[in-house]
């Protein structure tokens, strides 16, 4: 027997080996093209749809929280009050009791504000409104800055 025949088919073949090759020839490898069943793969389409849906939900949540944290600016409308003009009727001094005259004097002092007092009151009101607006803005800024750090009194377990 020649060993070259077994390795590279050169040389003289052995009759027993030829007989074995004929018997096992039916089981010899025969190359065929690979045919796979064709299935539609929906995974990339589902991944794209899920990412778009996730982006829409995240955008909606972001817009909702953003609109809640912003406080709309409010503008105070200042209207100057018009003095209330009431006609003064002549009073008969003999018909009015002395306690009623004292009440009329007090009432006249309170009901007739001067123009200077109205202007001072409006200026004080504007200053107060400005102070309240500034305080509100500062408080909302502090609230926004401290909002993410609200997790307190939590300890590790385990």
pLDDT at 58: 95
Helix (H) or strand (E) holding 118: helix 115-146
Distance CA 155, CA 158 (A): 10
Residues with Cβ within 8 Å of 137's Cβ and at least 6 positions away in sequence, in order, are: 71
122 exposure class (CB count in 10 Å sphere: 0-12, 13-18, 19+): middle
Residue from 43, 63, 61 nearest 51 by CA? 43
Residue pair 11/2 in contact by the 8 Å Cβ criterion:
yes
pLDDT at 96: 47
Residue pair 104/92 in contact by the 8 Å Cβ criterion:
no
pLDDT at 80: 74
Question: Helix or strand or coil: residue 85?
Answer: coil
Residue pair 118/80 in contact by the 8 Å Cβ criterion:
yes
Residue from 50, 69, 68, 47 nearest 58 by CA? 50
- Return per-residue pLDDT of the chain as tens, 158 residues: 557 777 787 878 888 888 988 898 888 888 888 888 888 888 989 999 999 999 999 999 998 887 766 666 777 777 777 766 665 555 555 554 555 665 565 555 555 556 667 888 888 999 999 999 999 999 888 888 877 655 556 666 65
The pLDDT > 70 percentage for the chain reads 65
pTM over 0.75: no
> CA 40: distance to chain centroid?
38
């Amino acid at each position: 027997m020649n060993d070259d025949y077994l390795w590279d088919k050169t040389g003289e073949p052995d009759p027993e080996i030829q007989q074995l090759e004929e018997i096992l020839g039916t089981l010899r490898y025969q190359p065929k093209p690979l045919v796979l069943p064709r299935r539609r793969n929906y995974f990339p389409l589902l991944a794209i749809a899920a990412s778009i849906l996730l982006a829409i939900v995240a955008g909606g949540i972001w817009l909702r929280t953003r609109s809640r944290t912003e406080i709309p600016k409010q503008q105070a409308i200042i209207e100057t009050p018009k003095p209330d003009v009431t006609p003064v009727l002549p009073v008969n001094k003999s018909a009015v009791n002395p306690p009623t005259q004292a009440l009329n004097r007090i009432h006249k002092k309170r009901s007739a504000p001067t123009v200077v007092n109205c202007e001072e009151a409006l200026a004080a009101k504007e200053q107060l409104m400005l102070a309240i607006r500034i305080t509100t803005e500062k408080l909302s800024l502090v609230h926004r800055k401290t909002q993410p750090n609200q997790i307190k009194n939590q300890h590790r377990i385990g």
